[in-house]
Amino acid sequence: MNDALPRPEVFTPSTPPEALEDLRRRLRATRWPDVPEDAGWSLGTDVDYLRELVAYWADGFDWPAREAELARLPHFRVTLGGLGIHYVHARAVAPAGPVLPLVLSHGWPDAFWRYTKVIPLLTDPGSHGGDPADAFDVVVPDMPGYGYSDRPPAAPLNSVAVAGLWAELMSVLGYDRFGAAGGDIGSHVSRYLGLDHPERVVAVHRTDAGVPVLTGDGAELTAEERAFVDGAAAWGAGEGAYAAMHRTKPQTAAVGLTDSPAGLAAWIVEKLRAWSDCGGDVERSYTKDEILTLVTLYWLTGTIGSSMRMYRANGAIPPAQLARRVEVPSGFTLFPADLVRPPRAWLDRTANTVRVTEAPRGGHFAPFEEPELYAEELRAFFRPFRATLTAGRQPAPQLP
């Protein structure tokens, strides 16, 4: 590895017992709000469900066991742009041809958690019903202010800046060319990787096109595109209060969410339910242990505030950046329960779209909800681009 590049270090997640004792004490001391009769989920998180979840979190959930499961993945940290960045770097197992490096970018409210189920399917397809020739080297970073990555001490980073960090990370790992994929904020980061590093990014796969932003003449839109823009606006009016809070006054909410684990769970679980293909029953898509693994990760790292602040940074991205068209070959897998689903005309307008598929099931967190389906989508989309890589395996980082 180039001596001028930062050197990665092995990282092992570890939680001191006193942090868990403090968490359980806070959970047992939760001060619950009053609830209108038969409110259910209509006003936000169902408090009856949350009481059940919090009781399990306090006295049944085994975080050390979940943490040990997460630690079985190959974790590292490296300093980029003055920030310690955590990432999982899983190498292809028994590849049968050129290995495509792939950087996967998550969204909110999650972290590397989004891809934990899909990593083995991508690195070892031969053991999971796939073709060994489709193996990837997979890199899953936590964005700054999320998970085990450092929180920016001053202004939050936007998706453009994070894409620049990911390009540097791939250089540190010895990858000259690679694929990029993601959803939600990770869709934006993947987009800017393609925009700003087209000589390195072989193709970009996304599960959404983001919330539409009109920067030109709206009269040029097709009827389907106008319906998409109007539908996104309607969704924002009915469901977007959280995003408005994140963009404008994130620190107000951060005080309560950082102090109250029950409040933090309410903020996250409501989105897991609303944005997933679960038919209104969040535990159709996630077990309690899976939900609480994500929420506990946010609690122990204290990153709910810093994760929300990224919305403010992204809200200030200049319109000229938002109007750029991605010329790197782009593919989209649209999941039926995702937030807003763009028509093909919009995808063609905003990217060099070479493949669009409609998934039969899944939602906003598709890599976690439907890992087998998502993995097959990535295998199929990136398959034609493997031939553009230099034959053979790119060098691994020199680790201590």
Tell me the pLDDT tens digit for each residue of 73-118. 999 999 999 999 999 999 999 888 899 999 999 999 999 999 999 9
CA-to-CA dists, residue 99 to 87, 124, 129, 326, angstroms: 19, 11, 18, 24
| Chain mean position to CA 350 | 21
**Rounded-to-integer distance, Cα 269 and Cα 3, Å:** 44
> Which residue segments constitute the domains of the chain, with CATH numbers given?
9-388 (3.40.50.1820)
- Reported as a pLDDT band with limits 50, 70 and 90, residue 391 is very low
Calculate the CA dihedral of residues 73, 146, 2, 124 and round it to 10 degrees. 30
Q: Quick one: tokens of 376?
A: 């097959």
Q: Quick one: tokens of 380?
A: 């199929």
Query: Half-sphere exposure (CA, 13 Å, Cβ side) for 267?
Result: 30
Verdict on whether the full-model pTM lies above 0.85: yes
What pLDDT score was predicted for residue 384? 95
Nearest to 104 by CA among 365, 385, 350: 365
Residue 386 CB neighbour total at 10 angstroms: 19
CA-to-CA dists, residue 228 to 182, 187, 335, 396, angstroms: 21, 18, 15, 43
Strand partners, 77: 9, 86
Q: Quick one: tokens of 6?
A: 């930062």
The pLDDT of 260-288, averaged and rounded, is: 98
- Reported as a pLDDT band with limits 50, 70 and 90, residue 245 is very high
Supply the residues annotated as catalytic.
184, 311, 364
The 3-state DSSP class for residue 185 equals helix
Cα Rg of the chain (Å, integer): 21
The least confident of 2-11, 146-155, 205-214 is: 2-11
Q: Answer whether 363's CB lies under 8 Å from 285's CB.
A: yes
